[in-house]
Structure 1
């Protein structure tokens, strides 16, 4: 009995000591500059965050951020592609200024970045997870990144220049490394952590525990899934990102395991390399999970619209399974902050490198200036500032992220940055738009055959110019949210067209963009 009382006393004492330690940590943190964690997932569509209300899936941990923060309904990017979006976030400058126009560029790490400015301003800094900028990170006390796109299973990581393969699932591993750094960081300084997930990037390989999530779910097919592009330009018709025709049977749709050697070219070779990363035990579990659906698919012998819908369902289930692990790991990170008394002085920014098509227009991927890829999710939780859920329709852009982060840290914003801080909006001191009009420029025209284009978006209208084809599109977003009806040649929109073309030229001049050299109307 005496031993039982002693054990009970010791347990209570330990709990009380831990409570005091956490309370002291909270008190200390409140007196410091805010810590900042920038969370960027890859290709995470706003439609796939339940706080946005599309009803496709449940993301309770990301939703908790929105419950205590600001959810942006109209956050956009300058260039809807992975690497360039990251470069814009780091520099606060458009792609043509920071030099990283497409995924084949190499980021000039010698230039000014938000990480360097925070580091010089007294922050300890780290970037962990996906980097995708070719050159090695600069301005960080610690970096642990995946080469290129990274792999879902047993990925390689490059830790401060040393490359090694790490067993496990990449979404969990990225969080493991982030928490480990937070444990070992210089605790005398505020921290800035860029925590970037690979998921849910193509080819959407879910974590083992989610292999059967959504097995019994039939997702609603978007109303414009069988879009015929009748009023659109040739650019919309020429793309190669249709779920029905452009997804690879093995790489994307998981309709094969090991492939014959004579089939291992292109995406088939890519799939075989990915599949070979799995251990024998992992392969057994993968084949047990996907084998029955492959057998059922082969037996069904689908064609036409039925086949197109089957592919959509397969894509959606794997994509959303990957999202589920992202949400789990947001929860893990938030739990760590709370357990260590860091939650009351740590700003959380959750976003994606751009939006993504979940079957709208029949597509996957991004690139186009149409709303689903141009628009990105953005949630900001700032303890003591955003203590209740607020939803805003103010137009902001990833061009503004660096400026906003510097403003949050109480540091000056360099005059050569091109965006605007939206801290006043977060503090409830600004009403209306941060930007009245947004400028966009996509440069790549390689993978998926999406033509180069520039464009401008206002509250109501969107103008897109495919300059290599000299083709224009104009949308009335109030009347046509799905962007199905190009009204560029509609006489009733002639004044709108003139106004939008003028606005496009004004923004090109403001942002010092000289490509294309001539705009033909």
Structure 2
């Protein structure tokens, strides 16, 4: 086409102007929204990532969860700080660690400083409507204060729909149909009524379809039980879809950042309540609407191996809302303008229900290291709510019939003092790498990281629960830790000897004479983990310790003496504390008795029957029921199923 000179003179300036406009728009950053984002938490109860389709389980039918997770950023190395709900929830709501504040034992009742304010309070003060639907079991005597400060509303009816018009909101929704009660503990008929009968027949995952972990014996009965997890998750998937419909109905999807995660590992044979990677690892994904993508440092990556823990959740939400976290929250925001990556994720597991334990863990995102401080106990301990489950009863039956392979048997045998798992190449975490030559460098690195962390925070759960209870009558465990009375470095030095074998016996015996009762306590714990044949020459010395003025030491040493030497004095001390008015001492005594050789444990039968006739607190009652189940053949029973 031929253009006139006149046309040419018009075309060039217009084209140039258009080009300049494009350049300006291309170079101008997007205007960030002035309105703070709405935030929704979808909290799955008791669910490991290994059971979700988006995390690689081809047998799962979770299309709603999968689409959400795949539309956002998936965190492959997300960890709960605890392995049971209440300590996990404590860390989530306060942004502080349980082993710093003495709140790690399941449903404990110890105080925390009034200065520890739940993170939703800061959102509330900045204008957010905060709602919780509806769990509020925070593992501290301050749980009611926390509830009142954190939430505008907290109930089974709570949600953003009750806010003022245009008000930003933070809304939490707990989904309990994937809880252990449905997937594991309650009788099958209860599961059938609550879950199976509510699903369309063509959506039911059959027993043959599921993926069975290596530590499950492959039997029709166990397949039938584990299929409960898959179907409960399917029902939960429908429920999440209903919640998403509500967001769509209210035209909120484009202004709401959505988190989806679980409160800890799943309710299966070797997950919830157990201090190893399967107990701590959780699914976690965050979905950003386009207008708030600038707050996501991972927006160009569908997944990340960066480690994060529940300690980070509160600071992260505050960061997304443009708020600073208070100084006592040591977690790192992993999203928002204040994002700061962490090198290691730390986790802890303490008493779960009546089952006593203390494990400490660390992960760099690829490897997960755990130190067991009660290595003489198996991974699967005796706990009524767990052993009521048919899966446990069948697995213990197969064990007694010698039908389990080595991987399956290890659940019921004394633990290694250390565990190291490769999270990327060991889906069900059955290959402990601590003795493998190619992994000594990472093992050493994670050991040092864990030691440094525990020394830094002065882990208050190295105090037995009896001591925490005594302290709590005067001050908070956190204040006690800060007071200088807690000599953690020396306590930890002795605690680390536990599981080291005969090379540590002399050090442990020497520590039994220390002036610090907590050092003596850990010396006794360490000696109780020694092989029976290693202690015969020390009976007289141990008998002298029965006069120790710290009852937890007496109980452990009495158990050693009665187990290894048939000591009448040891028996009498255990019997005395079995009837003690202090719940923590009575629970400690009966827990020691339960793990004695069966013939020796049975000697206490009439005592325990007498105890059963009395009004006794929950964890002692559960322990009594387990004892009578083991040694008197009484079936485990619950009058009601939650």
Range class of TM-score, shorter chain = 0.5 to 0.7
Q: 2:276–2:361: 8 Å Cα contact kept in structure 1?
A: no
More helix by share: 2
In structure 2, relative to structure 1, the CA distance for the partners of 1:481 and 1:310 (3 Å cut) is closer
In structure 2, relative to structure 1, the CA distance for the partners of 1:487 and 1:349 (3 Å cut) is closer
Alpha-carbon offset, residue 317 of structure 1:
2.6
Match of residue 308, structure 2, among 387, 396, 409: 396
> For 1:304-353, what per-residue CA distance to the aligned partner results, in whole angstroms no more than 9, with x for missing partners?
x6xx6233222233222222222122212222222222111111111110
The answer for the alignment partner of 2:177 in structure 1 is 199
The answer for the alignment partner of 1:499 in structure 2 is 445
The answer for the alignment partner of 1:437 in structure 2 is 344
The answer for the alignment partner of 1:222 in structure 2 is 212
Report the more deviating stretch, 196-205 or 106-115. 106-115
Paired residue total: 371
Kindly indicate whether residue 450 of structure 2 is the aligned counterpart of residue 474 of structure 1: no
Q: 2:83–2:265: 8 Å Cα contact kept in structure 1?
A: yes
Q: 2:82–2:349: 8 Å Cα contact kept in structure 1?
A: yes
Distance in 1, matches of 2:206 and 2:430, equals: 31
The answer for the alignment partner of 1:37 in structure 2 is 40
Distance in 1, matches of 2:129 and 2:122, equals: 11
Distance in 2, matches of 1:32 and 1:466, equals: 47
Match of residue 333, structure 1, among 237, 243, 254: 243
Alpha-carbon offset, residue 420 of structure 1:
0.2
The answer for the alignment partner of 1:321 in structure 2 is 231
> Counterpart of 1:43 in 2: which secondary structure?
coil
Distance in 2, matches of 1:193 and 1:352, equals: 16
> For 1:112-135, what per-residue CA distance to the aligned partner results, in whole angstroms no more than 9, with x for missing partners?
111111111211111112222373
Kindly indicate whether residue 17 of structure 2 is the aligned counterpart of residue 72 of structure 1: no
Q: 1:125–1:139: 8 Å Cα contact kept in structure 2?
A: no
Structure 2: state its 5+ residue gaps.
Answer: 1-31, 183-190, 377-415, 463-490, 498-642
More strand by share: 1
The answer for the alignment partner of 2:386 in structure 1 is none
Q: 2:420–2:443: 8 Å Cα contact kept in structure 1?
A: no
In structure 2, relative to structure 1, the CA distance for the partners of 1:379 and 1:463 (3 Å cut) is closer
Greater RCO between the two (CA within 8 Å, min separation 6)? Answer: 1
Alignment RMSD, CA only?
A: 3.0
Match of residue 327, structure 2, among 406, 411, 415: 415
Within a 5 Å distance, the mapping from 1:498-517 to structure 2 comes to 498-516=444-462, 517=491
Distance in 1, matches of 2:331 and 2:125, equals: 21
Kindly indicate whether residue 89 of structure 2 is the aligned counterpart of residue 86 of structure 1: yes
Q: 1:101–1:443: 8 Å Cα contact kept in structure 2?
A: yes
Alpha-carbon offset, residue 508 of structure 1:
1.1
The answer for the alignment partner of 2:368 in structure 1 is 462
Match of residue 520, structure 1, among 496, 515, 540: 496
Alpha-carbon offset, residue 438 of structure 1:
2.0
- Kindly name which structure, 1 or 2, has the bigger radius of gyration based on alpha carbons: 2
TM-score (norm 2): 0.53
Alpha-carbon offset, residue 46 of structure 1:
1.3
The answer for the alignment partner of 1:453 in structure 2 is 359
Alpha-carbon offset, residue 74 of structure 1:
1.1
Distance in 2, matches of 1:209 and 1:126, equals: 28
> For 1:262-321, what per-residue CA distance to the aligned partner results, in whole angstroms no more than 9, with x for missing partners?
xxxxxxxxxxxxxxxxxxxxxxxxxxxxxxxxxxxxxxxxxxx6xx62332222332222
In structure 2, relative to structure 1, the CA distance for the partners of 1:357 and 1:388 (3 Å cut) is farther
Match of residue 286, structure 2, among 380, 384, 399: 380
Report the more deviating stretch, 120-129 or 437-446. 437-446
Within a 5 Å distance, the mapping from 1:113-512 to structure 2 comes to 113-133=118-138, 135-136=143-144, 137-145=147-155, 174=156, 177-178=157-158, 181-204=159-182, 205=191, 206-207=194-195, 208-210=197-199, 212=201, 213-214=203-204, 216-222=206-212, 224-226=214-216, 309-356=219-266, 358=268, 363-384=269-290, 385=293, 390-423=302-335, 434-444=341-351, 446-447=353-354, 449=355, 451-469=357-375, 472-477=417-422, 482-489=428-435, 496-512=442-458
